[in-house]
């Protein structure tokens, strides 16, 4: 059991996903509420919202940093897209992604050049981005008058997917390919494992770190734009709505908080676990708080199991118990 939970981080997410699906299917017991195309569709919709954010956040966690600003970027990009994309959604998308790129590069640059902790800097980024979003929306919900686009984004493709989820899946596939097949992937893991060793070995640590913060911001921006377009409105998102599942998904997907481990596909499966849980609870008629509690409990459990002192403390306790 402990081996399953701790060491085999690439099997853990898949096992968890299977367990979740089986348990929910059993809870539904053949009434067809859970194992249906509609549930699968909404699962992938949630995947499309959380997935890219979790991927960006997860990559920053792999290099032992933490990008808090993703939530702010998610809101700000949605607002920018809705305001500037009134005539053409492509212009809105482009400007929002450009803002994401600029914000991410700026934060990465500050972190790398001034040797600052990422949590502090991205906390500042989060507050600035949220502030810009609040100024842009005047703290209201901005409508977006392009219902056609909203409908097009929500039309099912192949039964269970939509344009939004296809985009999200594509990002995961591309990132997974880059991480598995190119030098960048190995360099990222090297930075997360031992930054100094990676630098001595000739890895462009600074450049890659800036790149990862830029990637994380762009991912959050893209997800924010697509969500705003499909809802046909933009507003300042409540913080907990995105960051809780995104962080949980990254951790469930095998990204260690101490850096150096994790795979994009693992994060993807982690997102799927959370999405399945959320739609599954909904489908079998559980009250909404069950999802909050389940998500919090999972996050807390994994955070504790991931704690670097846990094993030492437990063995200390055991030794003391033996002595008495």
Partner 1 sequence: MSEPVARWRKRLAVPATPKSWRQLVFDARNPLPVIRATVMIGLAVLALTTPGFLSRPSISSLLTTVSFIGCVAAGMTLITLSGNIMSFSLGAIVGATAMIFTASVNWGGLAFGFAAALAAGALLNAAQGFVIGWAGANPIVVSIAALSLVYGAIEAVGADGTIYAQAGVSYGLFKGEIAGIPFEFVMFLCVTAIGQLILFLTIFGRNLYMVGGSLRAAEAVGVRTWRTISGAYLWAGMFSALAGIMLAIRYDSASMDFGVGYEYEAIAAVLVGGTVVKGGEGSVVRTLAGALIIAIIQVVLLLKGLRQEWQYLLAGLLVLAVVVLQTRGAGE
Q: Which residues bind partner 1 (CB under 8 A)?
A: 66, 68, 110, 114-117, 119-121, 123-132, 134-135, 137-139, 238-240, 243-244, 247-248, 251, 257, 287-293, 295-297, 299-300, 303-304, 306-310, 313
Chain CA centroid to CA 28, Å: 28
Q: Which is nearer to partner 1, 159 or 288 (CB)?
A: 288
Q: Which is nearer to partner 1, 9 or 36 (CB)?
A: 9
Q: Is the dihedral of CA 6, 8, 9, 11 positive or negative?
A: negative
Which strand (E) or helix (H) includes residue 53?
helix 37-62
The residues with which 161 forms a beta bridge, in sequence order, are 157
Q: Is the dihedral of CA 30, 31, 36, 42 positive or negative?
A: negative
Q: Which is nearer to partner 1, 219 or 236 (CB)?
A: 236
Residues 6+ apart with CB under 8 A from 217: 56, 67, 69, 70, 73, 100, 101, 103, 104, 105, 107
Q: Which is nearer to partner 1, 115 or 324 (CB)?
A: 115
Between CA 133 and CA 112 the distance in angstroms is: 26
The minimum distance between CB 99 and partner 1, in angstroms, equals 14
The minimum distance between CB 67 and partner 1, in angstroms, equals 11
Q: Which is nearer to partner 1, 147 or 304 (CB)?
A: 304
Between CA 61 and CA 274 the distance in angstroms is: 19
Chain CA centroid to CA 117, Å: 20
Please state the length of the chain.
324
The minimum distance between CB 134 and partner 1, in angstroms, equals 4
DSSP 8-state symbol, 141:
P
The minimum distance between CB 182 and partner 1, in angstroms, equals 29
The minimum distance between CB 266 and partner 1, in angstroms, equals 17
Q: Which is nearer to partner 1, 178 or 239 (CB)?
A: 239
The minimum distance between CB 250 and partner 1, in angstroms, equals 10
């Amino acid at each position: 059991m402990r081996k399953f939970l701790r060491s085999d981080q690439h099997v853990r997410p898949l096992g968890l996903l299977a367990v979740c699906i089986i348990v929910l299917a059993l809870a539904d017991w053949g009434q067809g509420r859970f194992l249906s195309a509609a549930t699968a569709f909404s699962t992938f919709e949630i995947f499309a919202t959380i997935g890219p954010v979790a991927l960006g956040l997860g990559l920053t966690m792999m290099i032992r940093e933490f990008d808090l600003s993703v939530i702010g970027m998610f809101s700000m990009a949605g607002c920018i897209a809705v305001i500037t994309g009134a005539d053409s959604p492509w212009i809105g998308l482009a400007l929002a992604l450009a803002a994401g790129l600029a914000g991410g590069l700026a934060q990465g640059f500050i972190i790398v050049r001034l040797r600052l902790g990422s949590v502090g800097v991205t906390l500042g980024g989060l507050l600035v981005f949220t502030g810009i979003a609040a100024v842009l929306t005047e703290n209201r919900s901005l409508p977006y008058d392009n219902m056609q686009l909203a409908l097009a984004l929500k039309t099912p493709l192949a039964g269970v997917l939509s344009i939004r989820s296809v985009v999200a899946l594509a990002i995961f596939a591309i990132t997974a390919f880059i991480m598995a097949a190119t030098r960048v992937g190995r360099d990222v893991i090297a930075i997360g494992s031992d930054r100094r060793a990676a630098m001595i070995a000739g890895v462009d640590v600074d450049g890659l770190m800036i790149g990862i913060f830029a990637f994380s911001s762009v991912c959050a921006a893209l997800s924010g734009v697509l969500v705003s377009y499909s809802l046909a409105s933009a507003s300042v998102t409540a913080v907990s709505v995105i960051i809780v599942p995104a962080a949980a998904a990254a951790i469930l997907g095998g990204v260690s908080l101490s850096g150096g481990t994790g795979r994009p596909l693992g994060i993807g499966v982690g997102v799927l676990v959370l999405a399945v849980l959320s739609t599954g609870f909904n489908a079998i008629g559980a009250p909404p708080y069950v999802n909050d509690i389940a998500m919090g409990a999972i996050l807390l459990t994994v955070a504790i199991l991931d704690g670097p002192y846990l094993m030492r403390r437990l063995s200390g306790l055991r030794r003391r118990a033996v002595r008495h």
